[in-house]
Amino acid sequence: MDDEKEHLKVIEQLASGSRPSAFTLPAVSTQTKTLAGYVHASVEDKTLKIAHCKVDRPHQRRGLGGLLLEAAEKRARNLGACISKVRLSVLETNEPARKCYAKSGFKVYAKSSSKFLPCNCSDGGCNCDNKISWLKMEKHIA
């Protein structure tokens, strides 16, 4: 429950603009004038934390993900942050994103797993092994 309250607090801060160290950068298609992707990040201490980096399927495998990551680093610096590393998490099964991040200089530093919800357990209490694996990746900045 405490985690849920903390997440709600962060969402409220982002929506109200009271958390200036967090930002979202959109990428808009010049052809269709629609959202092609976005990156959402925040700065804590000297770490740029990428919370989300999404690219719409028609725009994938064209370098947009890497450009969004670069733009997030640049925005953090423009906000006055002195960042020494960038961190993110990716589903272990998301091979295209993993390749994008590796191409941008990210390396795996840890692995974790979490329950995948909703679960299909019929007894009301979840005892299943529906777990998803996450890779935590980071890139050090000189």
Q: What's the pLDDT tens digit per position in 72-126?
A: 999 999 999 999 999 999 999 999 999 999 999 999 999 998 866 555 665 555 5
What confidence score (pLDDT) does residue 132 get? 86
**pLDDT, tens only, 23-51:** 999 999 999 999 999 999 999 999 999 99
Q: Is 48 exposed, middle or buried (0-12, 13-18, 19+ CB in 10 A)?
A: buried
What pLDDT score does 114 carry? 80
| The CATH number of the domain covering residues in 2-140 | 3.40.630.30
Which string of b and e fits 1-22 if b means at least 16 CB within 10 Å?
Answer: eeeeeeeeeeeeebeeeeeeeb
Q: Catalogue the E-assigned strands of 45-106.
A: 47-55, 85-91
Q: How confident is the model at residue 68 (pLDDT cuts 50, 70, 90)?
A: very high
Supply φ then ψ for residue 64, to 5 degrees.
Answer: -65, -40
- 129, pLDDT greater than 90: no
User: CA-CA distance, 141 to 83, in Å (whole number)?
Assistant: 7
Q: Is 63 helix (H, G, I), strand (E, B) or coil?
A: coil
How far apart, in whole angstroms, are the C-alpha atoms of residue 88 and residue 50? 5
Q: Domain residue spans in the chain?
A: 2-140
Q: How many residues does the chain have?
A: 142
Question: 3-class SS at 13?
Answer: helix
